[in-house]
Amino acid sequence: MLKVVQNLGCSSGFLSQLWKKAHHNTPCGLSSIAISTNPLSNSASTRTRRRHPTTTKLDSFVFSTRGTRSERPSRVCETRSESNPDATTSPSSSSAGNVSKINFCQWCGGPTKHDIPDGEEKMRAICTVCDKIAYQNPKMVVGCLIEHDKKILLCKRNIEPSYGLWTLPAGYMEIGESAADGAIRETWEEAGADVEVESPFAQLDIPLIGQTYVIFLAKMKKPHFSPGPESSECRLFDLDDIPFDSLAFSSIFVSLNLYIDDIRSGKLKFHYGTINKRPGSSPSDMHAFSLDNHLQC
């Protein structure tokens, strides 16, 4: 049985079409979401039933929609330099997925060739001396959405990209730590806040730039925070005052929208989705992406 919840009638709200498929009593479901910049102005909703997922193109913020999958799984190879929160300290990430930039073998120093290895489908950098392949994989960015006294803790970025714009404390997960511990560490480094993770909140893949955001809901152990070197300011924002017109990254925009949507509905969920960015768009361009294949539990 397909159960559909469709929010309509909102001129500028955080509009979504939510498909909840009853399956062993799990509340998970599929939706494609079109996002605008003022989620709190969503003042009306209508519920109805539909048999199949569709996407409503609501405004200029949606550049494409994908509510269904192709018949056969296929690889998507397009990538580009990126909008990651740590770009200025992570030179390697600036070439994520661009195999042509790997010119030498990191193990033996031999020159590489760029070819599709036997039995594979994707172009790789292969060492011409030791034959090792330099695989590249998406990076995980882990962070915390911290609520305190019904306010959300945001950090103003003191580094590029998106200098001067607001973000959740987040950064690259390191080898040797869990995603939750990485999110706690990044929150300490960027916001000086000592937090404990309460629940997973969202996994948002961004295929174009080879990143996956994993956001946890967290609480401060003590009501204290102060900006670290990568932040010029940290501040608690009422949900009505979140600066949606000056957020640093699409992933943060989506996370905050989903959170507000959940708060409004009275139930926090876990969200999975794909942020499809328009190639060439800037990290903070909120007019240039769509959230596709949104699943929530």
Candidates 8, 40, 102, 239; binder of its own copies (CB under 8 A) is 102
Of 79 and 162, the one with the shorter C-beta distance to its own copies is 79
State residue 268 phi and psi, 5-degree precision: -80, 140
Candidates 7, 15, 18, 29; binder of its own copies (CB under 8 A) is 29
Say if residues 127 and 237 touch (Cβ distance below 8 Å). no
Query: Applying CB under 8 A, does 93 fall inside the site for its own copies?
Result: yes
- Provide the 10 A C-beta neighbour count for residue 239: 16
Of 11 and 26, the one with the shorter C-beta distance to its own copies is 26
Query: Applying CB under 8 A, does 218 fall inside the site for its own copies?
Result: no
- Provide the 10 A C-beta neighbour count for residue 203: 17
Kindly identify the residues of this chain, within the stretch 128-187, that bind its own copies according to CB under 8 A: 132-140, 172-181, 184-185, 187
Query: Applying CB under 8 A, does 22 fall inside the site for its own copies?
Result: no
DSSP-derived secondary structure for 227-294 = --TTEEEEEEEEGGG--GGGBS-HHHHHHHHHHHHHHHHT----EEEEEEEPTT--TT-TTSEEEEEE
To its own copies, the closest distance from the beta carbon of 11 in angstroms equals 27
The helix/strand/coil state of 99 is: helix
Query: Applying CB under 8 A, does 207 fall inside the site for its own copies?
Result: yes
- Closest residue by Cα to residue 269 from 1, 36, 5, 2: 5
To its own copies, the closest distance from the beta carbon of 244 in angstroms equals 21
Query: Applying CB under 8 A, does 40 fall inside the site for its own copies?
Result: no
Binding characters for its own copies, 65-84, by CB under 8 A (x = yes):
----x-xxxxxxxxx-----
Candidates 1, 24, 49, 149; binder of its own copies (CB under 8 A) is 24
